Amino acid sequence: MRTRLPDWLTFRRFAATTTGLTLTLMMLGVYTAATGSGLACSAQWPLCDNGLLPQSIPSFIEWFHRLVAMVTGFFILGTAAWAWRRDDRRVRLASTLAVVLLPLQISIGAVTVTLNGALPSGYSVPTHAAHLFTAVSIFGALTLATLWASEGSYRRPPRERARSALLASLGVVAVSALFSRVTFVLPYDPGTQAAFTGVTLALVGALLAATLWLSRAGTPGLAALAGGALALSVLVLALGRDMVIYTGTVRLLNGAAFLLAAVLVGVAAWTLSRRDAPATPPTEPATPD
């Protein structure tokens, strides 16, 4: 006998929750790494303090990160299992990709806290980069699965949705720059780094949606602009996670990436608004009575 799910529990909501959990997990992972808590349990992975439960604040942060990762992993598995009961092939492929990447992400995470640079394959820049880009790929796949699963529930056409996503992206890219090391407005402490990651991932999601909807609207040129801004948002995320030594030159590159992303989004939004603006009828000259 099949259990009837409550009306509010739909696949698109479940997929959106999984995507949100993934974003939260990535923020927590950045905070854990920035505070040095990722090494609190060291080679005891997957244990902490010679047991299952932590006994210090740093080990609790690492332990809590692992707990959220476990819960998120089950949600990702559940999303893929539910997707395979649906008819949409795109949703199946996207959610399955997230599941395929999940063991790789777990393995890389284990390497970063156990080997800690003791071996060439330990906590090095390539390992750090692989951990970040695998996580971004999982987040992107889940975002696509959510967007595709929501297609039947949209009330507005793709062009209107794309314009809203572009306008939202303009605001989010400014907030992302505020939390980054480009502006020096905020100290780049662990909390700021986690906030920067969350905001920039939100930017990635908004630009991914804009690119998808612009393609659906039959505007490939504007979709290319949004896609370029999407690539730049991933670049600034990588620079913010110390993929390279953050010198003055890198700071200028980071600022240029933010600026170019804003320009691309702004041009796409302005062009789309101009195309959709109603034509103004010509004014007839006044005739004397």
The mean pLDDT of the chain is 87
Residue 51 has φ and ψ, to the nearest 5°, of -170, -170
Alpha helices in the chain (DSSP H): 11-34, 57-83, 89-114, 125-149, 158-179, 190-216, 220-240, 248-276
- What value does the mean pLDDT take over residues 283-289? 54
pLDDT at residue number 175: 96
pLDDT tens-place string over residues 179-238? 999 988 889 999 999 999 999 999 999 999 999 999 999 999 999 999 999 999 999 999
**For residue 1, what pLDDT band results from cuts at 50, 70 and 90?**
very low
**Cβ-based burial of 78 (10 A; exposed 0-12, middle 13-18, buried ≥19):** middle
pLDDT tens-place string over residues 101-134? 999 988 887 777 665 544 444 456 777 788 899 9
Domains and CATH numbers, the chain: 10-152 (no CATH), 154-277 (1.20.120)
pLDDT tens-place string over residues 223-262? 999 999 999 999 999 998 878 888 899 999 999 999 999 9
